[in-house]
């Protein structure tokens, strides 16, 4: 995300203003759970995060649903993780317009916050759900799979991920 901030002409930060908060959370979690070599392989993805910040429940919920369903499919969950991630998945599906009912704390904050609930979800709730799902997934997958999940998140959000020129580690 620091590289993205520089590409966007912003000050050095891991939370550039032009990056959707949930995508940024996923990218930071993938980076944190990758090896040194895996981190270098993430560099070509940086431009794809530019100008992804946009409001609406759908982009956030799609990324959360993808990350959480991947974590739930991995099977290496503690009971508390399974409960939290199932609730996160159910809430994301509700926000995507399925017949699922919101779960956990979302049952009250969605109605209490009203139209401010979207910003709350995008900025706080969805970022935590996605980061936890990546942390759980990272226990059982390789750098290649984590990078693939990050690419899937970009695609689910609507960012086009095209092949990029390879960057050397010294670039």
Per-residue pLDDT at 56:
92
Average pLDDT over residues 161-169: 45
CA distance 145 to 126: 21
Q: Which two tokens stand for residue 42?
A: 């993430």
Q: How confident is the model at residue 167 (pLDDT cuts 50, 70, 90)?
A: very low
Please give the share of the chain, as a percent, with pLDDT higher than 90.
81
* E-state strands within 5-130: none
Residue 51 region by backbone torsions, left for phi larger than 0, else alpha for psi between -120 and 50, else beta: left
Contact 71, 137 (CB under 8 A): yes
pLDDT in tens, 58-103: 999 999 999 999 999 987 899 999 999 999 999 999 999 998 899 9
pLDDT in tens, 4-22: 999 999 999 899 999 999 9
């Amino acid at each position: 995300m620091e590289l993205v901030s520089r590409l966007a002409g912003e000050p050095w930060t891991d939370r550039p203003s032009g990056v959707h908060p949930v995508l940024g959370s996923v990218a930071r979690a993938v980076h944190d759970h990758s090896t040194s070599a895996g981190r270098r392989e993430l560099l070509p993805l940086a431009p794809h995060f530019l100008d992804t910040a946009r409001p609406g429940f759908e982009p956030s919920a799609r990324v959360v649903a993808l990350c959480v369903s991947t974590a739930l499919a991995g099977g290496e969950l503690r009971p508390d993780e399974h409960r939290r991630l199932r609730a996160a998945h159910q809430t994301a599906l509700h926000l995507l317009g399925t017949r699922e009912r919101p779960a956990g704390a979302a049952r009250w904050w969605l109605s209490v916050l009203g139209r401010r609930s979207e910003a709350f979800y995008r900025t706080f709730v969805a970022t935590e759900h996605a980061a936890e799902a990546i942390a759980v997934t990272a226990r059982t997958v390789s750098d290649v799979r984590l990078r693939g999940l990050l690419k899937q998140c970009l695609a689910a959000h609507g960012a086009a991920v095209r092949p990029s020129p390879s960057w050397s580690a010294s670039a």
